[in-house]
A and B are shown apart, each in its own frame.
Chain A
Amino acid sequence: MMHTVNARHTTPRVWLVGAFAVVAAVISGVCIGAVHIAPLDALAVIVNHIPGFHVSTSASASDSAIIWDLRFPRIVLALLVGAMLSTSGCSYQGTFRNPLADPYLLGVSAGAGLGATTCIVVTNSHSVHWLLPLAAFTGAMIAVGLTYTLGRSALVGRSATSLVLAGVAVASMLTAIQTLVQQRNSDKIREVYGWILGRLSTSGWSDVQLVAPYIVICLVVLFQYRRVLDVFAVGDEEALTMGLPVARARAAIIIAASLGTAAAVSVTGLIGFVGIIVPHSLRLIMGNSYRRLLPQTAMYGGVFLVCADIVARTALAPQEIPIGVVTALIGAPFFLFVLGSSRQGDLT
């Protein structure tokens, strides 16, 4: 019986592998690029920025600047955004019992898209840089608010399905408006597309500082709900009779997942597939228990986005491919590979 008990908990080995993947992704991300940097230099420069640590390094001042001011913040942003998007997707899939749910389920993407497009169109190029995240974030939160209000007031009551349907309706409407705005301002279409296809900025630490608090808080809240997500698996009715305050728990999960996604989207634009591919790949490998899945999803979501970013930066260097295109292009075949290579017996 000990085996059963242990199987509920993530073994140290799984954590170690995950941690190794994160470190490997970070070092690769820092070292790979137009200027080649040795892995040890990269590590040394990063460690030297931790208060109380000092190691000698052969890295030049310009290398240090590239590592600390250009590449590392971008990688941290990728880790945060990847973790947030995949954890949101995983949480939505759990609470809605829908394997196709993604972080943009309740209209976050359409709302953020409309906010960003409006901002790009109405503001001058000088202020757009700092207004854009705010506009996208506001749009996303308004969209989710609208979805939630409509979904709850619908005839069907408070069911999960009515929420999802309301999300579809809200997203269609906002996308239509966004398309209209974009079509009437075709001179800005390139900028709008640049945002929609997603990109990780290179503006140093400011974006990280902007979104880190939101993402960290939302991730922590969602992790608290990992056992609750397992209870949701038996459906709303049975979960209620087992003592789960279904409506309240779902509301908390939706708020945390949407807020975090909105924060991520506000600085990176729309990066698709992460929220579906990462949780499902892990599900195929380690089973369906959310308490084990959720933390791993966050880790590998970050790793996945860092890797996608490396490809985006280097595949057509010196040009950069929008990262949203990369996640879809490498994510979908990767997912199919995992799907094909998993067998029934692997659910442990």
Chain B
Amino acid sequence: MTTLTLSHLDVEIASKKIVDDVSFSVSTGEWLCIIGPNGAGKSTLLRAIAGIIPSTGDLLIDGTHLRTMAPRDRACWIAYVAQEPVMPSGMRVFDYIMLGRTAHLRLLASESPKDFEVTQFVIDELALQEFAHRDVATLSGGERQRVAIARALAQASPIVLLDEPTTALDIGYQQDVLELIDRLRHEQKIAVISTMHDLTVSGLYPDSLMMLSHGSIAVQGSAQEVLTVERILKTYGAHVRIVEDSRGPIVVPERKPGL
């Protein structure tokens, strides 16, 4: 089992604190979902964990500091899927997914048969055979997201960061992608940290939620603990009703009172 631990993580951009004293830990097989209003620092936090932007505080994987690692070693632990992954036109889906093997190759080496095997395995696993030959730039939103997740899987890292994996998708594709992530984290034993906008959906799949407000943790826990009328009013300034359901709380938007 692998555990990612953040303690007292801060991110400062242009001398403004975007992420403020965030601590948590996630182990393989778990799914932590970061929620919070626009500008709360969700994406920034993920980008800091991925090593794209600098941060202070401890960032440990099984007790080893991530910041001291070379990009390649770090990528063997953590994979990252951006909110809108870049899809280079003219690149085939197969080749794109195989880029995920970069972390396992020396800088100037070429892919070995094993890298082809892993790529093919991921394609079979995610049922992408029918468009393995297609140009990634021609894919639809839902296909892009699946292909980007496939690339992260080919990277074979125990921790996968997903920035808004479902925001651009309609409800059917959302379900497909979320079911896929849920299945993979159990079967492939990976830890998933994602950000998400839809509160009801965020209570449906992940094990635990973390609500960010102005860069710091407002509340963290199960969906029942985090998704409350008072908390959502305080953090989002939104008026909602919570309908309790056996699968998790359903967040229903209300008309604002007094209008």
Q: Which residues of A contact B (CB under 8 A)?
A: 1, 3-5, 7-8, 224-225, 227-228, 230-231, 233-235, 237-246, 249, 283, 287-289, 291, 347
Extra contacts besides A5-B116, A241-B78 (10): CB < 8 Å: A228-B108, A230-B95, A233-B91, A237-B52, A238-B85, A238-B86, A240-B50, A243-B75, A287-B90, A289-B90
User: Known: A7-B92, A228-B108. Is A237-B82 also a contact (CB below 8 A)?
Assistant: yes
Bound-state CA distance A103–B85 (Å) is 29
Among residues of B, the one whose C-beta sits closest to the C-beta of A232 is B88
A-B interface, 6 closest residue pairs, ranked by CB to CB distance from nearest:
A288-B90, A243-B75, A243-B103, A233-B88, A241-B80, A243-B72
- Is A243 touching B102 in the complex (CB atoms < 8 A)? yes
Which residues from B are CB-within-8-Å of A246?
Answer: 71
A-B contact pairs, 21 of them (CB 8 A): A1-B120, A4-B94, A8-B94, A227-B105, A227-B110, A227-B111, A231-B99, A233-B86, A234-B88, A234-B96, A237-B52, A238-B86, A241-B51, A243-B74, A243-B103, A243-B104, A243-B155, A244-B71, A244-B102, A283-B90, A291-B110
**When chains A and B are docked, how far (Å) is the Cα of A265 from the Cα of B120?**
45
Q: Which residues of B contact A287 (CB under 8 A)?
A: 90
Residue of A nearest to B50 (CB): A241
- CA of A5 to CA of B94 in the docked complex: distance in angstroms? 8
Contact present for A242 and B132 (CB under 8 Å): no
Given A227-B110, A240-B52, is A289 in contact with B91 using a C-beta cutoff of 8 Å? yes
Judged by a CB distance under 8 angstroms, whether B207 is at the interface is no
Judged by a CB distance under 8 angstroms, whether B246 is at the interface is no
Residue picked from B51, B78, B91, B132, most chain A C-beta under 10 Å: B91
Q: How far is the CA of A3 from the CA of B129 in the complex (A)?
A: 12
Is the pair A241, B52 in contact by a Cβ cutoff of 8 Å?
Answer: yes
> B112 at the A/B interface (Cβ < 8 Å)?
no
Interface membership of B76, Cβ < 8 A: yes
Decide yes or no whether B259 CB sits under 8 A from chain A.
Answer: no
Within the complex, which residue of B75, B111, B133 is in contact with A242, where a contact is CB–CB below 8 Å?
B75
The answer on a CB contact under 8 Å between B155 and A242 is yes
Interface of B is mostly: mixed
- Interchain nearest-CB distance for B44 vs A (Å): 13
Supposing A241-B52, A242-B99, A244-B102 touch, asked if A224 and B135 sit within 8 A by C-beta, the answer is no
Chain B hits for A8, CB < 8 A? 94-95
B15 CB–A CB distance under 8 Å: no
Contact pick for A228, options B75, B78, B100, B107, CB 8 Å: B107
Which listed residue (A1, A234, A245, A347) contacts B72, Cβ 8 A? Answer: A245
- Known contacts A4-B132, A8-B95; A242/B100 CB under 8 A: yes
Output the nearest chain A residue to B70 by Cβ-Cβ distance.
Answer: A245
Interface residues contributed by chain B, number (CB under 8 Å): 44
Identity of the chain B residue whose Cβ is nearest the Cβ of A289 in the assembled complex: B95
Is A249 within 8 A of B107, CB to CB?
yes
CB nearest neighbor in B for A242: B102
The residues of A that contact B75 with a CB separation of less than 8 Å are 241-243
Q: In the bound complex, do residue B102 and residue A238 qualify as a contact, i.e. CB atoms below 8 Å apart?
A: no
A residues near B86, Cβ cutoff 8 Å:
233-235, 238
Query: Does B35 sit within 8 A of A, measured CB to CB?
Result: no
Contact B94 A234 (CB under 8 A): no
Q: Which residues of B contact A237 (CB under 8 A)?
A: 47, 52, 82
Q: How far is the CB of A188 from chain B (nearest CB, A)?
A: 45
**Chain B residues within an 8 Å CB radius of A7:** 92, 133
Bound Cα distance A209, B197 (Å): 64
- Tell me how far the C-beta of A28 lies from the nearest C-beta in chain B, rounded to whole angstroms: 32
Residues in B whose Cβ lies below 8 Å from that of A242: 75, 79, 99-100, 102-103, 151, 155
Once bound together, how far apart are the Cα atoms of A16 and B200, in whole Å? 60
Instruction: Provide the residues of chain B in CB contact with A233, threshold 8 Å.
Output: 86, 88, 91
Q: How far, in angstroms, from A7 to B90 measured CA to CA in the complex?
A: 13
B residues within 8 A CB of A283?
Answer: 90
Complex Cα spacing A234 to B52, Å: 14
Are B108 and A224 in contact, with the CB atoms below 8 A?
yes
Given contacts A230-B95, A288-B89, A288-B90, contact A243 B132 (CB under 8 A): no
Q: Given that A1-B132, A243-B74, A289-B91 are contacting pairs, would A238 and B80 also be in contact in the complex, using a CB cutoff of 8 Å?
A: yes
Q: A88 CA to B110 CA in the complex, in Å?
A: 21
Chain B residues near A231: list those with CB within 8 A.
99, 102
Min CB gap B76→A, angstroms: 7
Q: Would you give the shortest CB distance from A12 to chain B, in whole angstroms?
A: 18
Closest B residue to A237 by CB, please name it: B52
Contact A243 B71, beta carbon cutoff 8 Å = yes
Residue from the list A4, A224, A243 in contact with B76, Cβ < 8 A: A243
Instruction: Give Cα A225–Cα B99 distance, bound, in whole angstroms.
Output: 14
> B88 — which chain A residues lie within 8 A by C-beta?
233-234, 288
**A83 CB to closest chain B CB, in angstroms?**
20
**Chain B residues with Cβ under 8 A from A288's Cβ?**
88-91
What residues of chain A lie closer than 8 Å to B104, measured between beta carbons?
243
